[in-house]
Structure 1
Amino acid sequence: MKYPKWIIAVSVSACCTLSWAANRSQQLDSDGSADSYTTESRGEILPEVRVENGKEYLYWPGWNQSKNRKLQVRRERTTHPDAQWWPHAGLGIFMHWGIVSEFEPTGEAWAGRWTPDREKQGEFHPQQEIWDAAKTFNPVNYDPEKWMAGAKRAGFKYAVLTTKHHDGYALWDSDWALMGVRQYLDGRDLVEPFVKACRNNGLKVGFYYSGMDWYFDRDYMNFSFDPNRKMNFKGEWVKTLPKRPSKRWAAYQEYNAHQVKELIHKFDPDIWWGDGGHGMSVEEIRKLRPGIVCNNRDPGSGDHATAEGFGMSDPKFIKPIIENGWWWEVNSIIQKGSWHYDARMGEEIYPSDEVLRKFAEARCMGGNLLANIGPRPDGTYQDQVWRLFDDMELWMKTNEESVFGINGGGPWPEKCNVPITCRDRIWYFHARDHEATEKNPVILKDCAAKPKSMTLLNTGDRIPFSYKNGTLSFFIPEKRKARNITDVVKVEFGSDFDPEPFLFKHW
């Protein structure tokens, strides 16, 4: 495998030793909050390349092992014909929803895990207080049919719902969950109507399932991230915590396995989106549902990498994934706050132009965007979600060919200042409001041939361009700019242009 010059190659051998902590999840003792998925600007950042079991894996300095593994795939992906839709789908909607949404002080699921900074900022709350939100969580206005009908017209192809997050609250009527709708909502199943709404609207069904369950493990867990200080789930500093019984891990495995079986047998999901473990091995999950797509967030990994946050989906992190031949997806919040609804700022959804541009960037590199919103605790979407859906619906009417049915991506950002998606000799340039203007034109360097034609997809207008010494440049006339949604310019090349170097090899 050939890596860019900026990679320092170091060959090492590695093996995994499984202990209680490792088996539970390497993420259990690493902060998974939204704030933790950023890369500080420190100039050029060079990864280490390790050879493990005959394959090369990148490790980025400053990232813990859990974070690095989110960009790694450690098994051959599924070849089942029912799963091959996934890389072509391109766009999914992620919904973090549950008792954390009800907890008004913060929409952060990790708020119950103590850190000095979190306490200093007033963002730490004892885990028991978050669990207490189960007493008032009651989504009286929950209408997933409205959710999924809106998602469908906006162009989403699959949906992923948090059936159980790390707090342990189960959204389905489970025989095995220790805490969930059976204990607090008289068994009102919140997953079943979601699945039905997805099927009614032609969206593939995805289940987020946490292989970590802090409620199950509450008596033995240290809720402090400082290993030298111990905190119980009540937020109390203690000298010691009870020692886990020797049979605890076996009981935990059985507990998770029964929940996984319940969800798959009852609802037959298309996607298993484990987090902190799948709850069962990939092999066992595939026996239950052979055509399912599993993500990589399990020690046994899965079918695709999961870049978390737009910082982690920077091309320097993604290009090696593509070179390894792996499917990949970026999952990121598109709202203020964190993954779940934050009563303080969660009403604000990112501008439509920004979401569409991030979608184009993922497709340019042959990946999917799983865009997360956190519905309100009453079961409704924020008002701005409908603004986003309306804008996306309008955009899809004229521009969807630029993101669906593609088979390649152009040289962004190495040789072009905007992302490019391709279908053989047809290239699509995606420009935000401030791009493709007279002052900030689109520039493609080392363009191998002069285009036959160039049109603005939104209007069908011809776009003038300059092609000189292998450099292609153009801009969209001011009166033709869409402003609130991303502009797409369609460029057609002739038979003298070779598309082969730009076709995806990892699909």
Structure 2
Amino acid sequence: MREGFVVPDKWKWFTESRYGLFIHWGPYAQWGRGEQVLFREHLNHEEYAEQACAWNPRHFDPELWAYTAKKAGFKYACLTTRHHDGFCLWDSAFTDYSSAKQAAGRDFVKEYTEAFRKAGLRIGLYYSWIDWRLPAYFDGPQKDPEGWEIVRTYLHNQVKELLTNYGQIDHFFFDGVWPRNADDLQSVELLEEMRKLQPNILINNRLGYSNKIDGYRADGGIGAGDSDTLGDFGTPEHAIASEATRLWESCQVTTWRLWSHVIGERWRNTDVLLDMLCECAEKGGKHGGNLLLNVGPTADGQFPPEFVERALEIGRWLDVHGEAIYGTDGGSLTEFITRGRQTMKDNKLYLIIRFWDGRPELRLADLTSRVLDVELLTTGQSLPFEQDGDTLIINGLPREAPTRLFPVIRITCDGKPATNEWGEVRLWEGDPERVAAWARERRGASVYVDGRER
């Protein structure tokens, strides 16, 4: 995707959604110390595999998962079909190391896709290139060309299998490129095959660097940047970093750090999680700006109650304020950091108030569009306002915040909301002459109180 690129109709669902659910789940949940416990604690491979094969999550109910996700306001989901430990959650024809062929005897990918699709949610699948069990992946084509060819064929076959057997797949999230690159993996060639199987699919950027094919570079990890051109969307991890030239999606945890179920992990507060969603929407514009918020189900297949509590609270907020998030065109129209965030849609500007000060009046500078109506969306209350040039004064705000989370004010303009130079260029940006002129015209040039020379 390049500057001037228009998002095709087949991908507009992504920019309209803004909010997806990431599900990190696998046999590693039995250890309760993160999805990478096998490597990070250098566990015995044989003992790990024995416990993984015995994993049988009897309380996994995909319809309950889908119901919760829908009620929480998510528009799509992405399930880890196979993480770095190599254990597969589907009935793969290419290995017996799977939930279908071991103790559980179930194809969890099939159950997930059917339940979430039935609930009206878009379907995403996560797949890790890396498999800690396979030496040839780390030796690579230079050290073990024969072994590497077997591994690469295995990876390609599994990806194509996932895109063949489970209906329409909307979103595909690769991970774990290191230490290979796009040329080793032949990821560019695989993408062509993936698009033949699923013409409408969105594929992320974790595909490795290519030295052979001009212009194809991708970070293969957690960053985001204009140089990462391979893949349909960027995936900043544990960060919200907008990309101007393609779709992007910030993947974030609901806990402090780890992705799968962890016993004793600390949980982020609901307002922190909601603010991440609002920040993604504010920075998104028409080229993405989604939040992929993670949950790590327990080993027996249940969403942790701490997650459900927070997710449903955000869902209730979205029931009232969702128009300020879903399908918005970004925001940050004017300088508003002292109050909160902004998003826009058509002729409406939404003020998402992070800091409610209890004062009856709110001053919004630098809005040049003529205002037709102002409403406290949280309560439906119409608010009186005055407009003097590019300054809008909103009155009648209640002393008490009308919601525990973020109240939202909807401003309806006579056209697309517009701003002046101060809104377009912020603090620490642009030509400093405008700041000098502002000080000179408003007070003078000296160090004295009145700005006059002595």
Q: Which amino acid aligns with 2:22?
A: F
SS at match of 1:420: strand
Farther-moved stretch of structure 1 (394-403 vs 408-417): 408-417
For the 8 Å contact 1:410–1:421, the answer to whether it is kept is yes
SS at match of 1:307: coil
Q: Return the match for 2:399 from 478, 484, 491.
A: 478
For the 8 Å contact 1:415–1:444, the answer to whether it is kept is no
Tell me how far apart the structure 1 counterparts of residues 7 and 198 of structure 2 sit (CA, whole Å). Answer: 13
> How many residues are paired up?
386
Tell me how far apart the structure 2 counterparts of residues 473 and 339 of structure 1 sit (CA, whole Å). Answer: 44
- 1:456 equivalent in alignment to 2:384: no
2:332 match = 410
Distance 1:472 1:131, change over 3 A: farther
1:381 match = 303
For the 8 Å contact 1:99–1:130, the answer to whether it is kept is no
Distance apart, 1:454 and its partner CA: 2.1
2:235 match = 306
Distance apart, 1:478 and its partner CA: 3.1
Tell me how far apart the structure 2 counterparts of residues 482 and 415 of structure 1 sit (CA, whole Å). Answer: 20
Tell me how far apart the structure 1 counterparts of residues 321 and 380 of structure 2 sit (CA, whole Å). Answer: 11
Q: Which amino acid aligns with 2:264?
A: R
TM, length-normalised to structure 2? 0.75
- 1:100 equivalent in alignment to 2:28: yes
Farther-moved stretch of structure 1 (331-340 vs 79-88): 79-88
For the 8 Å contact 1:75–1:302, the answer to whether it is kept is no
Q: Deviations over 1:245-295 (max 9, x none)?
A: 221221111000111121111113111111135975211110111111111
Farther-moved stretch of structure 1 (459-468 vs 268-277): 459-468
For the 8 Å contact 2:15–2:327, the answer to whether it is kept is no
Bigger CA radius of gyration:
2
TM, length-normalised to structure 1? 0.68
Tell me how far apart the structure 1 counterparts of residues 9 and 416 of structure 2 sit (CA, whole Å). Answer: 35
2:431 match = none
Q: Which amino acid aligns with 1:155?
A: G
Distance 1:304 1:213, change over 3 A: same
Q: Deviations over 1:414-471 (max 9, x none)?
A: 7664221111321111123xx0323798664422246333221121123456766744
Q: Which amino acid aligns with 2:144?
A: P
Distance apart, 1:489 and its partner CA: 1.1
For the 8 Å contact 2:91–2:100, the answer to whether it is kept is yes
SS at match of 2:132: coil
Distance apart, 1:77 and its partner CA: 8.3
For the 8 Å contact 2:373–2:411, the answer to whether it is kept is yes
Distance 1:463 1:81, change over 3 A: closer
Distance apart, 1:410 and its partner CA: 2.8
2:211 match = none
SS at match of 2:382: coil
SS at match of 2:163: helix
Q: Which amino acid aligns with 1:288?
A: L
Q: Return the match for 1:369 from 277, 284, 291.
A: 291
Q: Which amino acid aligns with 1:383?
A: P
Farther-moved stretch of structure 1 (267-276 vs 188-197): 267-276
SS at match of 2:236: strand
Q: Deviations over 1:105-160 (max 9, x none)?
A: x11416624xxxxxxxxxx3436365454144221100010011111122211010
User: Unpaired segments of 5 or more residues in structure 1?
Assistant: 1-72, 114-123, 223-242
Distance 1:257 1:441, change over 3 A: farther
Tell me how far apart the structure 1 counterparts of residues 371 and 161 of structure 2 sit (CA, whole Å). Answer: 55
2:196 match = 287
Distance 1:182 1:409, change over 3 A: same
Distance apart, 1:297 and its partner CA: 0.9
For the 8 Å contact 1:296–1:305, the answer to whether it is kept is yes
Distance 1:127 1:500, change over 3 A: farther
1:157 match = 75
SS at match of 1:179: coil
1:89 match = 17
Q: Deviations over 1:307-350 (max 9, x none)?
A: 111xx21xxx42xx22xx2111111001244000101226x4x3
Tell me how far apart the structure 1 counterparts of residues 24 and 161 of structure 2 sit (CA, whole Å). Answer: 20
1:233 match = none
Tell me how far apart the structure 1 counterparts of residues 400 and 269 of structure 2 sit (CA, whole Å). Answer: 21
For the 8 Å contact 2:170–2:201, the answer to whether it is kept is yes
For the 8 Å contact 2:92–2:161, the answer to whether it is kept is yes
Distance 1:177 1:466, change over 3 A: farther
User: Unpaired segments of 5 or more residues in structure 2?
Assistant: 209-215, 217-229, 425-454
1:214 match = 132
Farther-moved stretch of structure 1 (127-136 vs 208-217): 127-136
Distance apart, 1:102 and its partner CA: 1.3
Distance 1:94 1:127, change over 3 A: farther
For the 8 Å contact 2:113–2:123, the answer to whether it is kept is yes
SS at match of 1:335: coil
SS at match of 2:159: helix
Tell me how far apart the structure 2 counterparts of residues 308 and 444 of structure 1 sit (CA, whole Å). Answer: 33
Tell me how far apart the structure 1 counterparts of residues 77 and 316 of structure 2 sit (CA, whole Å). Answer: 20
Distance 1:259 1:77, change over 3 A: farther
The 5-angstrom pairing of residues 80-479 of structure 1 reads 81-104=9-32, 106-109=33-36, 112-113=39-40, 124-126=41-43, 128=45, 130-177=48-95, 179-185=97-103, 187-217=105-135, 221=138, 244-268=143-167, 269-277=169-177, 280=187, 281-299=190-208, 301-309=230-238, 312-313=239-240, 317-318=241-242, 321-322=243-244, 325-345=245-265, 348=267, 350-366=268-284, 367-411=289-333, 417-432=339-354, 435-438=355-358, 444-449=364-369, 451-463=371-383, 470-472=390-392, 476-479=397-400
Distance apart, 1:481 and its partner CA: 2.5
Tell me how far apart the structure 1 counterparts of residues 38 and 391 of structure 2 sit (CA, whole Å). Answer: 51
